[in-house]
Amino acid sequence: MLKYAANLSYLYTELPLVDRFAAAAADGFRYVELHEPYSRLAAELRNAALQAHVQTVLHNTAFGDFAAGERGLAAVPGREADFEKHLHEAFVYSSQLGNRLIHVLAGVADNGSSAARATYLRNLALAATEAAKRGLTILIEPINTRDMPGYFLNTIEQAADIQDAVGQANLKILFDCYHVQIMQGDLVRRFERFRERIGHVQIASVPERHEPDTGEVNYRYVLSAVAVSGYDDYIGCEYRPLRDVHGGTTAGLGWRHTVAP
């Protein structure tokens, strides 16, 4: 059975972060995920999750200097020491929050550069090795070039190639339907082809990145195919609610009764 996780970096943003756990629980979510939890103390977030009786399942490594255009550092040559600091911080938060998945952000780097690729492989090998000691899975996510120009990883095939080069079983692909649809399409067949490599799934409408019952993707069909495939892990709800239409995150959750198997 698919398990839906509210992405608290996009949902319930009308509330402070620590209050979003309870809001998600009130709407029936048992699982949550985050982009960057680092603006709040790990213990504070852990307590919010415990009080709300929800489980955090995923967070990212830090973006770095977002205002300066940084979107992670794993593939950025010369920033290995900073990447290791971010990785250690991610492990600290994981130990407090109890999630087993960490998405390692590649960053903005030329994906045709041998130096960037070598840096990425080195940093992912380190991340996967250290994660294995802790019983964790490292995720890498292809991100579309429209939303994040210059991001190192853009397609599922590139991600699979990186997986093979690193060669560690706890390195998996984050299959974000929104990004895959924009870059490549053919969601169901592509998911089926790479099913055994996938460690997490995320959803949002395309092209606006709103609730999954809007836009060009038939999520009822896609999610049914995901469920039939035997995938029984988390589906991250990583979309921006149409507050101007619905009046808030909660009012837009009707999709769970129409498209979610």
> Which positions are annotated as active-site residues?
141, 238
Gap between the Cα atoms of 180 and 226, Å rounded: 14
Gap between the Cα atoms of 29 and 32, Å rounded: 7
For 74, the 3-state DSSP assignment is: coil
Longest dimension (CA), the chain: 48
List, in sequence order, the alpha helices (H) in the chain: 17-26, 42-52, 80-97, 114-133, 156-166, 177-183, 187-194, 219-228, 243-246, 255-258
Per-position b or e across 162-198, b if 16+ CB within 10 A of its CB: bbeebeeebbbbbbbbbbbbbbeeebbebbeebeeeb
Q: What angle do CA 71, 132, 60 make, to 5 degrees?
A: 20
Contacts of 111 (CB under 8 A, 6+ apart): 75, 117, 152, 153, 154, 158
* Residue 137 DSSP label: E
CA-wise closest residue to 206 among 175, 234, 185: 185
CA 243 to chain centre: 22
